[in-house]
Amino acid sequence: MTAAPLPFEPPAKPKRHRFRDFWQRVTEGIELDVLGRQFLSEAKSSYRLYAKDVDWDEVGNARGPRRIFRAILALFQAMLMKLSPARRVLLLIAIALLLIQPDIRWGEKQEFSLHMGGIGVAILFILLAVELADRVTMKRDLEIAREIQQWLVPECAPKIDGIDIAFSTRPQNTVAGDYYDAFLRPVPLQSAAVGPLLVAVADVAGKSVPAALLMATFQASLRALAITPVPLGEIVDGLDHYCRAHSLDGRRFTTAFLAEINLRTREMHYVNAGHNDPILRRPSGAVERLSAGGPPFGLPSFTDEPIAYASARVQLQPGDLLVIFTDGLVEANNDSGEEYRESRLLASIESAPNESSEAMLKGIMAGVNAFAGAARQHDDITCLALRVTS
């Protein structure tokens, strides 16, 4: 009788391979020098978060070592107050146990000894686990918010004969306060003409969830106004009226660039509401900046009268390239605190004059990434490119 063959068992990995796989998962393949720069960038960001709650005038009144001690104590207090009351107490207990390290003994012959420093370490680990659980839960909620926000902006550009459009965006956090859009406006039913193309890029003051919520309301307002047969000027007035009513006394204003393109004549009518001046590059290499407009939407007014926004018209020609961007792009910082600036953006546009909009945007974003390196992104970055091909 033949014995049944033993099931195949793959050979066990050597320990060095298991450690290598574990290290690969932990670091996600990032080099150590890059990890170091990322940690320093995150540490600087955390320091700024706590430092803004410190009364530095009071710290500055001390001299010598006392000044250093006061600064450390003030930063610790700022960090402590970010926790819930129960976690503050546990953290203080853990630190006390680690610093004092009491040794409790039972029995006349010291038969049992308990080192409380280990309990302090355990409390710190539990606090880390609880804070991490909160972070994971918040991240999951933010991911859901990010999915909802992605529904509000176009996944891909509209296909229009003679016009090549592309978008690129990178939020500073999971959700963003930047908004971009391009869509055909409806036309009156009795008209057989194609509706104008509306292009919009906006930037809500602030970051993360508050800015993202206002961005969603701005998108809804623009879409609602755009389906009505009103000129661009009335859309702008309606947006400003809505933003002023929900700006928290001007603290949540919105910069925006809105343009309406007649697809038959290629004439572009635009309004710049306090936004970075878009770049219009002509086939000859000449560059025009589109600045006509007014202040950002939502700024408080001293009168009840609406702000009169100026507008301008530009005749687009085949070969023209329009680049609309938010301030997060040109204000991106590297490890030295240097800004990317518009000069580098212009150089990037000049180096790719005949590329498609999508290829050119990839080049712009790659240039920003290379410039910033491992520096922490401090603002949302959005760019829209529109090229007239015929």
Q: What is the dihedral angle through the alpha carbons of 67, 73, 79, 83, rounded to the nearest 10 degrees?
A: -160
Answer yes or no: is pLDDT of 30 > 80.
Answer: no
Residue 5 included in any domain: no
Show which of 123, 145, 167 is a domain's final residue. Answer: 145
Residue 1 included in any domain: no
288/355 same-domain check? yes
Q: Lowest-pLDDT range, 57-66, 216-225, 243-252, 355-364?
A: 243-252
319/236 same-domain check? yes
Contact (Cβ atoms closer than 8 angstroms) between residue 261 and residue 313: no
What is the pLDDT at residue 303? 60
91/167 same-domain check? no
Answer yes or no: is pLDDT of 115 > 70.
Answer: no
* Three-state secondary-structure class, residue 139: helix
Residue 33 included in any domain: yes
Domain that holds residue 179: 155-388
pTM flag (> 0.75): no
242/360 same-domain check? yes
User: What are the tens digits of pLDDT across the range 278-304?
Assistant: 999 999 889 999 999 999 998 876 666
217/321 same-domain check? yes
Please identify which residue in the block is written with the tokens 């792009």. Answer: 329
Answer yes or no: is pLDDT of 92 > 60.
Answer: yes
Q: Measure the CA angle with vertex 121, ends 120 and 123; round to 5°.
A: 65
What is the pLDDT at residue 248? 66
30/175 same-domain check? no
Show which of 94, 120, 145 is a domain's final residue. Answer: 145
Residues 6+ apart with CB under 8 A from 9: none
Q: Token pair of 85, please?
A: 């009351």
Pick from 339, 357, 341, 370: nearest CA to 168 = 357
Distances (CA, A) of 10 to 14, 153, 319: 12, 49, 61
Answer yes or no: is pLDDT of 4 > 70.
Answer: no
What is the pLDDT at residue 194? 79
Report the CATH number at residue 339.
Answer: 3.60.40.10
Q: Token pair of 316, please?
A: 């687009």
257/167 same-domain check? yes
Residue 9 included in any domain: no
Residues 6+ apart with CB under 8 A from 349: 279, 281, 321, 323, 360, 364
What's the structural domain count of the chain? 2
User: What are the tens digits of pLDDT across the range 335-353?
Assistant: 888 899 999 999 988 887 7
User: What are the tens digits of pLDDT across the range 167-219?
Assistant: 998 888 777 788 999 999 987 655 557 789 999 999 988 777 777 888 888 89
286/195 same-domain check? yes
Name the pLDDT band for 268 (thresholds 50, 70, 90).
Answer: very high
Q: Token pair of 363, please?
A: 């080049």
Q: Measure the CA angle with vertex 110, ends 104 and 111; round to 5°.
A: 105
Mean pLDDT of 211-238: 90
Percentage of the chain exceeding pLDDT 90: 32
Residue 95 included in any domain: yes
Answer yes or no: is pLDDT of 331 > 80.
Answer: yes
Name the pLDDT band for 249 (thresholds 50, 70, 90).
Answer: low
Name the pLDDT band for 26 (thresholds 50, 70, 90).
Answer: confident
Residue 369 included in any domain: yes
190/297 same-domain check? yes
What is the pLDDT at residue 103? 63
Answer yes or no: is pLDDT of 67 > 90.
Answer: no
Taking the C-alpha atoms of residue 73 and residue 240, their distance in angstroms, rounded to an integer, is 46
Pick from 304, 302, 308, 216: nearest CA to 254 = 216
Answer yes or no: is pLDDT of 106 > 70.
Answer: no
Q: Token pair of 67, please?
A: 């000044």
Residue 75 included in any domain: yes
What is the pLDDT at residue 384? 96
Looking at the DSSP assignment, which residues form a beta bridge with residue 259? 199, 270
Give the 3-state secondary structure of 82-122: CCCHHHHHHHHHHHHHHHHCCEEEECCCCCEEEECHHHHHH
Contact (Cβ atoms closer than 8 angstroms) between residue 75 and residue 100: no
192/219 same-domain check? yes
Average pLDDT, the chain: 83
Name the pLDDT band for 74 (thresholds 50, 70, 90).
Answer: confident
165/43 same-domain check? no
Residues 6+ apart with CB under 8 A from 198: 181, 182, 183, 184, 185, 226, 258, 259, 260, 261
Residue 219 included in any domain: yes
User: What are the tens digits of pLDDT across the range 310-322?
Assistant: 999 999 999 999 9
Mean pLDDT of 80-99: 87
384/269 same-domain check? yes
User: What are the tens digits of pLDDT across the range 137-168?
Assistant: 777 777 777 777 777 788 888 899 999 999 99
What is the pLDDT at residue 111? 54
What is the pLDDT at residue 287? 93
What is the pLDDT at residue 346? 92
Question: Which residue type occupies 27?
Answer: T
